[in-house]
Amino acid sequence: MKTSFNINQLTTDKRHETAVVLHLYYTELFNEVKSYLDNLGDAFDLYISLPEDQAAFESRIREEYPEAMILLVPNRGRDLAPFIELLKIIIPLGYETLLKIHTKKTLHREDGTMWRQDVFSKLLGSETQVARILKAFSSDKTLAMLGPQDHVLDSRFYMGKNAATVQDLLYQCGYAQSLPESFFFVASTMFWARPEIFKPLLKAKLSFDDFESEPLPVDGSLAHALERFFGLLVEVQGKKIRSINAEGELGLPDPFEIYPFATPPAHLRLRSLKSVVFYRTYEEAYAIEYLRVTAPFRASGLQVIDGGNDPELVSQADAVIFQREFPKNLPLYDQIIAKARSGGKFVLYDIDDLLFDLPEDHPERTQELYNAALLPMMSAIIDADLVLVPTEEMRKVVESFNPNVIVLPNYLDDTIWQLKEPIQKESDEPIVLGYMGSNSHTPDLGIIEPVLRDLLSKYKGKLKLEVWGTPLPDGLQGFEGVLWHPSPTNVYTDFVEFFQSLKFDLVIAPLADNLFNRCKSNLKFLEYSAIGAPGVYSQIPPYEGIVEDGVNGFLASNKTEWFDKLSMLIEKPELRRQMGIAAQNTVKEKWLLSQNIHSWQDIFGKLNRNIFLEDRHKPIRAYIANIVNRQLFSDRENAASRFQNLEHEASWNIQSLTQQ
């Protein structure tokens, strides 16, 4: 019997080495399918699954293929359930190759016809194409599956809601192992294959009853899981899956291929970023703006659009990026976020310091500089699709609140920095010990204040300490040999020009050992080294990873080490020269922007995981954080308004009393 509702009643008669399995759901496409099957000539056995309510179409099939085996099937399990049924009679016959196709329309997509025709043209678009495919299988016994180019996808990005079911299928087929991190599969389940690769699937004993009834969801059904599982079967059996283009060229599938017939996953869309709108935190172009966004993003080739205060500009780019306390401006931040989310734009947030854990004696904490911004910044970390930080220590903290963190180090931009030779001093010239820092570093400078006083006393007249920016600790104010200068500028490019004019013989970078400082970057080492100045640095994470003690700098962990190592540099000009050169070589080899950032992938590739994690718990975390943030913002605004009213009322009362 060549037509039956029961697979066991079909008469099987192998006459060729190729089996073609066609699921003919849309019978109106039969002629189109036949035009492609003609490229196979007569050298195939045809197996057709036909919906039982289309049984009358059998006569039309017989006109073209009188020997076809036709299985009448219920409308359940799409093309997958009938295929598994037909495998029960195909596998025992020992075919060399199998072609699986179906009459795909994909009614929920406007490009469904183009999708089908693209697949058909690559799998059997010409007699030459078919001949190349059959030759590939005959010459490479490890080739187990061949899919159309652009339709062979990486499971990391296209697993969807199917991982649990795919894992169950793996167990049911006798493989007691976890899912691999990545494997390829053929989307649309139209491919060439070796039939024996599906033999383990028979152990699962799947039937039509195991498949969900129509209508199926767009993802997450057994059919969707099997689409992926077919590729996994190739992987676990140690065989190869390849793709073929319309010209008959076989190749390795591209794991980062963006599938044109489905919504691209977030990882691949992020990987393909072309432009960002940058909403600046400060009016002046501070170092964090230049180092963290302007320089690296432009070096990567991304278009950086200045967002100003205009939320409408969100539509002009693929993503938006904020820094530090920008989210404190909640009304504007909310407008930008709303535009980004409604427009499918990614949200990036860069934070360079652990401002949530300022030490108690830190000037910015005692001034309560960031108090109103702390919760908005925390909400922004949770809200963002990607958080950018400068160090691994900072990553460890931030990824507790957002799983997708990019560690983008601060690099030295060699378009504005020119590396200078170490200073060669005449023996009678005073040695200049230099320090440059922001207004917040007084406590750090204070930890070696006694050392500096002792050195200035020991080398009186031969050593002077020159401090720029950071207010002096009490013990250094008015001390002989100490020169203090205010910060020259807040504009980073102007700062760089000025800094390169300084004549430091050696430098210091003390940092108190606390979590805030451990999360800092090694920027001071890079900038000091650029002017050829060797230095002594605190032995904590910002510098432990870049300073090779005694080679390109010194590390110090206590006052004795600070005194002894600075003394060596003061007394040995050749050591200063050699160490300055070594420090510059470190910068040249690993820390120049031009050597590290050439494309967006050089930034995105620093993501803390192999694949962007679409965290299902994120919406509720973001919702709660934002509700609290907005409530406190509203409370602050109301309190400020009440205070202004009280001031106004008090002023009015005073005026009334004076007029009486």
pLDDT at 439: 87
Domains in the chain: ranges and CATH: 3-264 (3.90.550), 270-407 (3.40.50.2000), 431-596 (3.40.50.2000)
pLDDT at 659: 60
pLDDT at 108: 46
Would you say 68 and 48 are in contact if contact means Cβ atoms under 8 Å apart?
A: yes
Q: Which amino acid is at 223?
A: A
547-570: per-residue pLDDT in tens?
A: 999 999 999 999 999 999 999 999
pLDDT at 648: 63
Compute the distance between CA of residue 239 and CA of residue 122 in angstroms, rounded to an integer. Answer: 21
CA distance readout (Å), 6 to 3, 10, 74: 9, 7, 11
pLDDT at 647: 61
- State residue 548 phi and psi, 5-degree precision: -95, 105
pLDDT at 8: 86
Instruction: Say if residue 567 is exposed, middle or buried (CB neighbours under 10 Å; 0-12, 13-18, 19+).
Output: middle
Length in residues, the chain: 660
Percent of the chain with pLDDT over 90: 79
Stretches where the chain sits below pLDDT 50 are 107-109
pTM: 0.79
Instruction: Say if residue 576 is exposed, middle or buried (CB neighbours under 10 Å; 0-12, 13-18, 19+).
Output: buried
- State residue 170 phi and psi, 5-degree precision: -60, -45
**Of 444, 330, 324, 345, whose CA–CA distance to 387 is shortest?**
324
Q: Are strands 346-350 and 386-389 parallel, antiparallel or unpaired?
A: parallel
Helices (H), 513-592: 515-518, 523-530, 541-544, 559-571, 573-590
Buried b (16+ CB within 10 A) or exposed e, 105-139: eeeeeeeeeebbebbbebbbbeeebbeebbebbee
Would you say 385 and 270 are in contact if contact means Cβ atoms under 8 Å apart?
A: yes
pLDDT at 350: 98
**Of 242, 230, 28, 244, whose CA–CA distance to 125 is shortest?**
244
**Of 433, 492, 439, 494, whose CA–CA distance to 465 is shortest?**
433
pLDDT at 638: 67
pLDDT at 47: 97
pLDDT at 655: 63
Write out the two tokens for 610: 């192999």
Compute the distance between CA of residue 563 and CA of residue 567 in angstroms, rounded to an integer. Answer: 6
Instruction: Say if residue 228 is exposed, middle or buried (CB neighbours under 10 Å; 0-12, 13-18, 19+).
Output: buried
- State residue 649 phi and psi, 5-degree precision: -65, -40
Rounded (to 5) percent helix, strand, coil in the chain: 45, 15, 40
